[in-house]
Structure 1
Amino acid sequence: MLALLCGVTNYTGKLIARCQDHPCSVDSKFGPTKKCNPLQTFEDIGESAFGDAGRYFITFVLYTELLGTCGLYFILAGDHLALLFPDYFSPAMFMAITAACILPTTWLADLSALSSIGLVGALSSIALTGVVVYTFLNGGVSDGFAETALVVPETLPLTFGLTSFVFAGHAVFPNIYASMEDKERFPEILDKSYAVVGTAVMLIGTAGYLMYGDQAAEEVTFNLPTGILATTATALIVVNPFAKFALTLSPVARGLERAAGFDIAGSGGKRAGALAARSGLVLGTLYFATSVPCFGIVMALIGSFTTLVVSVIFPSACYLKLYGDELEQSEIYLNYFVVLLGFVCAVSGTAAAVLSLASA
């Protein structure tokens, strides 16, 4: 499943760059960005392919994904802080404390100040993989491995959303491609990035499966034997929400500010409105996180409902719309297969996640 989605999302990532290079010919009420080549954002691609309806649709899906991811950051922080300090507060209270600490970072007009923290977050993810693999190599294999089922059909649909979430970087690919000086290197850089991410998730997934099998927790750090390594892994997880929350929330906040006429870099009422809007978004995602604290199910729901649309279905659909007359028959069939695969996974995964949440 991981290998399939890694290959498919790598392919659709390259399609996004192709779609950005498609010349614009339709006037838009959203301003001159529509006339740019390459197109600057995912919303521009959607509008170029499907008109204003395409822009509205992909904007809704992207913002839903980003806000859901922010909610996941709160759940991660709350769960792991409660694990580190079990005698102090509940996970929900730790989420609230995390929100209070994160809130000032969302008020920054220039997020470049967070770049060093972002680097720490990326390194912490790599280090976490090392901790899990090290535990595996040093005798962490469970005695109950023989009892682990090869396939668990009832949870298979949830797997679609969980695994697709791993490769959910497509929302930022257009901005990266548009800003590159040497755009011809984009496929090469994408392949290298996917090699790193794919290797990490295969290592941590395989090690976790062999060690814990059916007894694997929603977050594998909960399975690690007590000691310095488990504490280190838990602390590393806590770093990520602080490093990534403001960056993840920023596109949604800026879109809201444009619609309302606010400006976080302005002064007076415009800045006050922007601060209030961003604070409201933080509190809203906090409410979501404390209301539905089922990390695995929420992750599967976001992955199925939004990530599969953004990373699998929409790129191929736009590519077919923009280049359909120029494609070989085999490439047309391939992209219809990708769209069909994404649709089946998205519908079944979303339904399974909603049912799981309802019974939680």
Structure 2
Amino acid sequence: MAEQKVAASALGEPLLLPGKDQAGLADDVEAQLTSYHAGASASFSRTCLNLTNAVSGIGVLSMPYAVSQGGWLSLLLFAVVGTVCCYTGTLIERCMRADGSIASYPDIGRFAFGAVGRRAIAFFMYVELYLVAISFLVLEGDNLDKLFPGASMELLGYRLHGKQLFIVLAAAVILPTTWLKNLGMLAYVSAAGLVASAALTASLSQVTLNLPSGKLYTKIAIVTTLVNPLAKYALLVAPITAAVEEKFSLQHGGAPARAAISTAILASTVVVASTVPFFGYLMSFIGSFLSVMATVLFPCLCYLKIYKADGIRRTEMVAIAGILLLGVFVAVTGTYTSLQQIISTF
């Protein structure tokens, strides 16, 4: 997968959002939203808001960078990836219909491969969501640092400046949204994210050129680029918070317990985001390893395991075999390249 990067603001360089496969992220988040307890559920319309917010607007400005790295033929790769993820999404849907006890993506892994399958899928999904949440904070810190260079502030005896300062400030704004357990309430945050995504898309004429300084639509693009991660962070870490609550039997601990858990998770992402110097390589690793495993390989393997006894058409077997080969190739080569780049930074 193409390496993803955060670029500078419109003051002379292209402003790039962290990209990852949108269909893949949709599968991840949609599967996780179904695993909530009834008390945290939302209506169909609000669930649509949450899901659309999770997958929209993140990669709008990353495509020019990807095309610049891979050439115009990389657009064909985008189409192939989208088609593959659409198909594996249907495989997940079929697997969820295989048994009434299946309510989430990890449940599919349990039904297909037992406890080991559930733990494997849950691990890849939660780690991926955690790293994407970190990428949102890095995006905020980098872009605000470009807009307000040289900013600094003393906080609790420590002098914060530049990227680290803005990461902490962004986290302070995000924190109250992470305390919301009810997905219906998060839908209001998602609505703000959707408005920002629409404004961002509408404010661009050409995404293949640098954003010119001094233009109104450039300012709109900058503001909405900053709003987008703030509106999406809570939704992406909500499954992680719920998993921690379930792991330690804190589902009924009330608001204080959830606030403590979500605050701890946010604090940990702030620490990582403030210290990781290779954001683009991190996003490349997420896409090439975690996303491929969660959205390409696992759906195919689970589907084969669940439905092999019923018989699978030969044409479908050929298609799944081709997808598995493609997924393994991307995972191996992409992971090797991204890890090599990360190691080279030290």
Q: TM-score normalised to the size of structure 2?
A: 0.70
Q: Secondary structure at the match of 2:122?
A: helix
Report the CA distance between 1:313 and its aligned residue.
0.9
Superposition deviation, residue 254 in structure 1:
0.8
1:349 equivalent among 334, 338, 345:
334
Which of 141, 146, 157 is the aligned partner of 1:83?
A: 146
Shift of 1:234: 1.5
Q: Which residue of 1 aligns with 2:81?
A: 5
Q: Which residue number in structure 2 is paired with residue 313 of structure 1?
A: 297
Counterpart in 1 of 2:31? none
Does the CA-based 8 Å contact 1:106-1:278 persist in structure 2?
yes
Structure 1 position 286 matched with structure 2 position 289: no
Secondary structure of 1:40 counterpart: coil
Q: Quick check: which one's helix share is greater?
A: 1
Q: Does 1:96 align with 2:168?
A: yes
Question: Is the Cα contact below 8 Å between 2:129 and 2:237 reproduced in 1?
Answer: yes
- Matches of 1:63 and 1:262, distance apart in 2: 18
Match for residue 243 of structure 1?
231
TM-score, normalised to structure 1, is 0.68
Q: Does the alignment pair 1:254 with 2:317?
A: no
Cα distance in 1 for residues equivalent to 2:237 and 2:287: 17
Partner of 1:226: 213
Cα distance in 1 for residues equivalent to 2:83 and 2:143? 32
Is contact 1:84-1:231 (8 Å) kept?
no
After TM superposition, list the pairs within 5 Å mapping 1:1-360 onto structure 2. Answer: 1-23=77-99, 35-36=100-101, 39-89=102-152, 90-132=162-204, 134=205, 136=206, 207-208=207-208, 211=209, 223-227=210-214, 228-263=216-251, 266-267=253-254, 271-325=255-309, 326-360=311-345
1:295 Cα offset (Å): 3.2
Change (3 A) 1:335 1:40: same
Shift of 1:322: 1.2
Query: How far apart are the structure 1 equivalents of 2:176 and 2:203?
Result: 31
Asked if the contact 1:19–1:319 (Cα under 8 Å) also holds between the matched residues in 2, the reply is yes
Distance 2:324 2:139 in 1: 31
Question: CA shift at 1:22, angstroms?
Answer: 1.1
Secondary structure of 1:120's partner?
Answer: helix
**Equivalent AA in structure 2 for residue 224 of structure 1:** L
Q: Is the 8 A contact 2:180 2:186 kept in 1?
A: no
Secondary structure of the residue aligned to 1:108 is coil
> 2-side partners of 1:110 and 1:7: how far apart?
33
Give CA deviations for 1:304-356 in whole Å, capped at 9, x if unaligned: 12111111111111111111241111211110111111111112111211111
Given that 1:15 and 1:315 are in contact with CA atoms closer than 8 Å, whether structure 2 keeps it comes out as yes
Give the AA of the match of 2:175.
L
Q: Provide the rounded CA distance (Å) in 2 between the counterparts of 1:292 and 1:261.
A: 32
Query: How far off its partner does 1:256 sit?
Result: 0.5
Which AA in structure 2 matches 1:323?
Y
Identity of aligned residues (%): 35
Taking the aligned partners of 2:271 and 2:138, their CA distance within structure 1 comes to: 11
* Aligned-pair CA distance for 1:293: 4.0
Report the count of equivalent residues.
258
Cα deviation, residue 109, structure 1 = 2.6
**Cα-Cα RMSD:** 1.8
Q: Offset at 1:285?
A: 1.1
- How far apart are residue 50 of structure 1 and its match? 1.0
* Amino acid in structure 2 at the alignment position of 1:337: G
Aligned partner of 2:318: which letter?
Answer: Y
For residues 109 and 3 of structure 1, the distance between their equivalents in structure 2, rounded to whole angstroms, comes to 36
Tell me by how many angstroms 1:291 deviates.
1.6
Partner Cα separation in structure 1 for residue 198 and residue 86 of structure 2: 20
In the alignment, the residues of structure 2 paired with residue 131 and residue 342 of structure 1 have an alpha-carbon distance, to the nearest angstrom, of: 35
* Amino acid in the other structure paired with 1:290: S
Distance in 1, matches of 2:145 and 2:218, equals 14
